[in-house]
Amino acid sequence: MFHKEGGPSILIGVIFTVVVVLLADKFIDIYWLRMLVQIAALVILIIILQFFRNPKRIAIRNIEHVLAPVDGKVVVIEEVYEGEYFKDKRLQVSIFMSPINVHVTRYAMDGIIKFSKYHPGKFLVAWHPKASEENERTTVVIENDTFGAVLYRQIAGALARRIVNYAKEGMQVVQGTDAGFIKFGSRVDLFLPLGTPINVVLGQKAIGGKTIIATKA
């Protein structure tokens, strides 16, 4: 199953692969070279398909849990100053997505979208200290009665060239459902209230819509 945002890229990839395979078959007489070109085209198509896969997941909704918004590795757990929306200290949990991870963004909890903003920016590598402030990104705030306001930020990286965000202010959203997509990867930051019990550790693999990142204090 593939994400709808991958439609144009997948179509281009299929057309490219078919054209390369046919042209190589017609114009390259050296067998090993022809096979090498055709296999390379197929590998490129497989990579594109892999980027846009969207495994079906049914989140176990729980108002006392904040779930991972994306697949990837937990790379940051620290207290930081969040200066865009809260303008105070928050507990940040960041998940880095490698090129082989699923790149779908999912809502980490039930609630109402209080804030949603897109920021154009640079394409620094995702682990760069200033990526959260200078890269292309979206900032979304969800609020509910259990956790109050929780912010998540989709951040583009060196490869990512488009962030898709479905969250609109005033929307009522459901935990684990599709919140957007980061084409070709990067990272997502969560900003939680101070004192929120964290359920993951640095280096842990997170699964979007499944892994419990935090619980009610």
User: Hey, which residues are catalytic here?
Assistant: 186
Cβ neighbours of 15 (radius 10 Å): 11
- Would you list the DSSP string of 97-132? EPTTS--EEE-SSSEEEEEEEEE--B---TTSTTHH
Which residues neighbour 205 within 8 Å (Cβ) at sequence distance 6 or greater?
72, 73, 74, 211
Residue whose C-alpha is closest to residue 213's, from 100, 102, 117, 91: 91
